[in-house]
Structure 1
Amino acid sequence: MENRQKRYRLLALSLLGATVLSGCGSEATGDGPKEVKLVLNWFPKAQMGGFFAAQSQAYYEDNGLDVDIEPGGPEVSAIQMVAAGQAEFGLAHADQILIARNQGIELVALAASLQESPQALMFHEGHGTDSFADINGRTAYIEPGIPYWDYLKSQYDLSDVTELAYNGQHVNFLENEEAVTQAFLTSEPFFLEREGIGTETLLISEAGYNPYNVVLFVTKDYLESNKDTVASFMEAYTAGWNYYKDHDEEVNEVIHEANKNIALEELAYEAETQFEFVFGGDAKENGVGFMTEERWGDLIHQLVEIGQLQETVDPNEIFTTEFLQH
């Protein structure tokens, strides 16, 4: 959701010093709840359902925390804010976390809210394909610098694709039945079908690129100095997602209050379509948020191969499952 390559190059030098400062705080003492901030990676949606459930059910409070949830958006970088010490916790996708780390911003992933990536390519109904190679020759609306597009170009001949910048709108896509646009399986198809426009989708993960999505992270320094706070947050995280699993309609009301621009019917669609992304895969046996060294290692290798990472990184420096509640 951010222009990754440009933003991270600009942020690297300015935030390198701030990253060190962001972890300098230690565990607070006192009788009141500890105040922390969570910055979302977008405006409140069902993909953040577990966090809003934890807030509405007082799971944060039960664990001694006063959590301020701050919305993200096109002009908000959770990575920037956490690295600068303006927030303790943030949400991002796994490839964003890796790219930031490679630029000198040391982040540690605590939990992957979505086990599988809902990132997809969207087509007009009747003009879809089950082969990425068939995209060649079409017009594609893609966010500049998005890693999965570089990956697709490394795996398929897409030399004749006309690449145009994706701006969050679908006006130009709608005017060209042969066009392709980036999308999230859990949202954009619903928006268009509600307007009477049929679509087809092809998940990026079918090409072998499948980063964890909506990953909860902190800086390495903050984690080392605030393990009790992180452990408390993670207890609320697990309880929140488990509550949302069976009470999504109730929690969606809370999300809607935080984001009036998303209708309850949209939240219901997101909750239904994301269910397997959140609670399936490795989470089915190991609990929500679970991550593996193999998945992180595969992603690191892919990003190095396409030039998004300058050098390989030990997966165990990137993530931890120490605080997950199984």
Structure 2
Amino acid sequence: MPFLNATSQTSASFILNGIPGLEEVHLWISFPLCTMYSIAITGNFGLMFLIYSEESFHRPMYIFLALLSFTDVLTCTITLPKTLCILWFNLKEIDFNACLTQMFFVHTFTGMESGVLMLMALDRYVAICQPLRYVTILTNSVIAKAGLLTFLRGVMLVIPFTFLTKHLPYCRGNVIPHTYCDHMSVAKISCGNVKVNAVYGLVVALLIGGFDIVCITISYTMILQAVVSLSSADARQKAFSTCTAHICAIVITYVPAFFTFFTHRYGGHTIPPHIHIIMANLYLLMPPTMNPIVYGVKTKQIRECVIKLLLKGKDASSHNT
């Protein structure tokens, strides 16, 4: 008898089994994940507050950075609390509809993060290749519309995931060998034909990740051509330095994303399940953790502002004592 059918889906639940093969060390694995999550929340909220409170940061580059931080907070928050409940308290059950909801937001926010990175690459292109038109091209209205379209793109492309997954028959049990619900992890425990799910997942990956990477590559190719043509070595170094943090963010985001995507589809028999699950968690947690650190270290204006605030706080505390 099927575990789930058309009449029982709304009342059924799944079991998120955590990290297969490493159940005995779940507690120890939770500590670095919890630490990274704490750093991600603190760092991204701090970065958003800094950009909001400092008028000098009310520019397109920093507005896009605030949007990236906001997306990062949502991306890790949709999964990490439930993951920690599994690892700490063995609370593995998740309602079927809650699982679909988590799946929807996981893919929507990761798609949005990719889109924001693409918009930041376009921002750097305009700043370096069209500096005189920078303010007139990237107005607040254009930034708001670009952010909204990026979000809507993710929503419209991810919605079919939920319908495709919801109508699959689940007769192989209800145990998902994962710490959160993602599209293929849920689909793979179905006894139905998941070929459509796999093909559509590939199409979405190409329409979001593939499209964004092409735009990023074209932007940086044109940026490189513009920077190389500069006669001053100082000007070239300054232009490159404005892109360093963004390039690091791209690497941090896309490397674990590609690893997770391809191992799900082509490396299931060669890569141990626990490696895949750990990388899938890092794929969602690494960018939110590292992006505030990278931008804080690599962006001179942010670094100087943070140092100024820290020194101001130190002076205030010394006066109080």
TM-score (norm 1): 0.23
TM-score (norm 2): 0.23
More helix by share: 2
Larger radius of gyration: 2
More strand by share: 1
